[in-house]
Structure 1
Amino acid sequence: MEITFLGTSSGVPTRSRNVSSIALRLPQRAEVWLLDCGEGTQHQLLRSDVKISQLTRIFITHLHGDHIFGLMGLLASCGLAGVGQGIELYGPPGLADYLKACCKYSATHLINRIRVNTIEGDGLLYEDDEFRVSCGLLKHRIPAYGYRIEEKDRPGRFRVEEAQGLGIPSGPLYGKLKRGETITLADGRRIQGSQLCDPTEPGRKLAYCTDTVFCDGAVQLAQGVDVLIHEATFAHQDAEMAFERLHSTSTMAAQVALLAQVRELIMTHFSPRYAPGNSLQLEDLLAEAQAIFPNTRLAKDFLCYEIPRQRVKGAHAQPLATPLA
C-alpha cells in the first residue's frame, strides 16, 4: 500500500500545495484508489508516478468544492482516454446528482462503467479477498465521512522444503497444510499445517479523516491503524476558529491518534495562513502535534509513503509431526 499525496491545502490551492486528494497505489493488483478529488487533481496525477489508467475506485469524503471540483474533469478525461476498467465511486448523498448536473450542463457523456455508491451510514462499504473498506460519520458543516482501508492478513509462506523432508507427497495434501489443517499420513503420522507455515503477515491499515472537528467517530474509525491521515487545518491557538468552522487543529489530530493508538499520524489539509513568512508556520503545527503524539509528520504535495508491514516473529514451539494416538 503506497500513499501519494496529490493535494494538502485546505480551501484553496497555493503555489506549493493543491487542494485535497490522495492516491493509494496497490501494486499487487495494479490498481489505484483515490481519496477525494479537489480541483486540479488530474494535473497532479500527471505530474506524479501514479497511473490514471489503473484508477478503479474513488472515495469522496464530502461535497465541499475543495474535495470534489476535480472529479468531473478527471472522469471526463478517463472517458476520452478510453480507460478500460470500470470506476466505482463512493460518497455521501448528492454525489450522483452533482455528477448528473455536471454532465447535463456541460454536455458531457461519462463512460457507462462509472457507478456511484451512496453512503447511507457507518459500516462496511466494500470487501474482497484482499481488502475491506469501511466508513464512519465525522463532524463537519455538511455530512462528511472518514474512510478506513484494511488489507487482510496474509498466510505465511508454506515451507515446501520441510514438507519434502518429512516425506509428505506433493499434491492435495500441500493445499491442506497451506490452509493450516492437520493431515494424517499413511504411516500414521499427524502433521500440523501451521507448523510448516511462516507466521501470518498482518494486513496494513489506513484511516483517512477530513473534514472534521475532533470527534469520537474519528477515534473509532482509526483504532489501531498503521497510518492515520488526519486534517490539521488550524494551529492550536486558532482553536476557536476551528470549532466555528468544524475543522481540526494540530492538537486535535494528535489527540485522535493518541486515543486510537495508531502507529503513525500524517497531518494534511493545512490552512494557507501558515505559509512561509507568517508568524505561525507548519513547523509550529508539527511541534504542537508531536508534543502529544511524537510519531507525527507533515504531508506535502507529491510525498510518497509506503505503509510498512508489521511482521510477526515466532519460533516453532511444537513438533512438526506427532504419532497417531
Structure 2
Amino acid sequence: MSAPRFAFLGTSGAVASAQRDNTSLVVEADGVAILLDCGGSAVQRLRRVGVDPLALTHVVVTHLHVDHAYGLPSVVRQSGLLGRRAPLSVVCRPEHVEPLRALLTVFRLWDRPDLFPIVLAPIDLTPGARALTTGALSVATTPNDHGSMPNFAVRAQAGGKALVYSSDTRPCAAVATLAQGADVLIHEATFAERDRTDHRSETHASAADAGRVAAEAGVRRLILTHVGADYHDDVAALAGEAARHFGGVIEVAEELRFYTA
C-alpha cells in the first residue's frame, strides 16, 4: 500500500488568473483517485497530470461557493462521454445534497437512464468521522469555520501517510485537531496579514494564520493554497509570513505537478 500522492489542479481563490485556476486537487493511491473540490476544467487538468478521469471514484464538494463547485456538471458530462459506467459518488454536507442535485438537474445530468449512476453521499458532521474508503484511501472530515457557508475539512490517508486539506476557513481549532499527526497540511492563505480586514477574517485565513494552525497541529509540512489573485506575483512573501509562525517545511502550491504525502 503506497502513500497518497496529490496534484493541485487549481490553487487560486475566488478569482482565477493567468497563472492560477480556482482551487481543486486530486488525491491518488494505488490507481484510485478522488477529487477534492471542483473548480476549473477538472477533466482537462486531470489529463495534464496523467490521471484518467475514469479513475475517479468520488468527487468531494466541500461547500457551495461557485469556485469550489461549478465544475461538477462538466466532470459528470465528460465522464459520460468518455464511457464511464461505474457509479460516481459526490460527497458533500447533508444540507448541500439537494442544491447539488438541482445543479445537475439544470444540465439534465440527474437520473438519466443513459448515464452512469451518481450517488450523492452526505457526510457525518461528527468531527473526524470517516466519510469514505476507496481502494487504499481512507477519508475523514470535520466541519470548519467559513462564516455563514457550511463547509468541512478533509483528511486523506493511505500507507501510513496522511494529508489534510482545510478547504476555505478562518483559523479553526477543529482543522488543527483533524491535522494532528498528519504529514502535510494544505491550508488556505487567501490574503497577507498586512491586508487583514474584519470582512476577510470572518471567512478566510491569512498566510500567518495558516502557519499558526500548522504549528498547533504539529505537521511536518505546510502547503499554502487558495491564494488570492492579488498575491499571485508575490507568493514568496506569503511563505515568508507563514514561516514566522511555523518551523517546518513551507511551500506555496504549484499547479499540475505531483506531491507525495
Task: Please tell me whether the aligned partners of residues 22 and 36 of structure 1 are also in contact (alpha carbons under 8 angstroms).
Answer: yes
The residue number in structure 2 matching 1:254 is 211
Query: What percentage of residue pairs aligned between the two structures are identical?
Result: 31
Does the Cα contact within 8 Å between 1:234 and 1:271 map onto a contact in 2? yes
Task: Judge conservation of contact 2:92–2:122 (CA < 8 Å) in 1.
Answer: yes
Whether 1:53 and 2:6 are equivalent positions in the alignment is: no
Partner of residue 225 from structure 2, selected from 265, 268, 277: 268
Can you give the 5+ residue segments of structure 2 that lack an aligned partner in the other structure?
Answer: none
1:12, distance to aligned residue in structure 2 (A): 1.7
Contact 1:234 1:242 in 2 (8 A): no
SS in 2 for 1:13: coil
Give me the TM-score of the superposition, normalised by structure 2. 0.89
- CA RMSD, Structure 1 to Structure 2 (Å): 1.9
Are the structure 2 counterparts of residues 103 and 207 from structure 1 closer, same or farther at C-alpha, using a change threshold of 3 Å? closer
Partner of 2:154: 147
Contact 2:207–2:238 (8 Å) recurs in 1? yes
Q: CA deviation at 1:50?
A: 1.6
The aligned counterpart of 2:86 is: 85
Which residue is equivalent to 1:303? 257
Separation in 2, partners of 1:64, 1:9: 13
1:135 to 130, 141, 150: 141
Q: 1:42, 1:70 within 8 Å by CA — same for their partners in 2?
A: no
Do the aligned residues in 1 keep the contact of 2:73 with 2:107 (CA within 8 Å)? no
In structure 2, relative to structure 1, the CA distance for the partners of 1:65 and 1:86 (3 Å cut) is same
* Partner residue, 2:23: 20
Counterpart contact for 1:144–1:211, Cα < 8 Å: yes
User: How far does residue 134 in structure 1 lie from its aligned partner after superposition?
Assistant: 1.1
The correspondence for 1:290, drawn from 226, 243, 255, is 243
Q: Quick check: 1:37–1:70 contact (8 Å CA) kept in 2?
A: yes
CA distance in 2 between counterparts of 1:57 and 1:6 reads: 16
1:239 Cα shift? 2.4
CA distance in 2: counterparts of 1:99 and 1:57, whole angstroms: 14
Q: Does the Cα contact within 8 Å between 1:213 and 1:242 map onto a contact in 2? A: no
Q: In structure 1, list runs of 5 or more residues that go unmatched.
A: 153-202, 308-325
Alignment of 1:213 with 2:170, yes or no, is yes
Q: Aligned partners of 2:106, 2:134: CA distance in 1, in Å?
A: 37
Check 1:284–1:254 CA distance in 2 against 1; reply closer, same or farther (3 A cut).
Answer: same
Q: Distance in 2 between matches of 1:50 and 1:257?
A: 29
Does the Cα contact within 8 Å between 1:212 and 1:248 map onto a contact in 2?
yes
Per the alignment, residue 320 of structure 1 pairs with: none
What SS class does the counterpart of residue 196 from structure 2 fall into? helix
Q: Give me the whole-angstrom Cα distance separating, in 1, the residues matched to 2:251 and 2:179.
A: 17
| Pairing partner for 1:236 from 193, 199, 208 | 193
1:86–1:214 CA distance, 2 compared to 1 (3 A): same
What corresponds to 2:66 in structure 1? 65
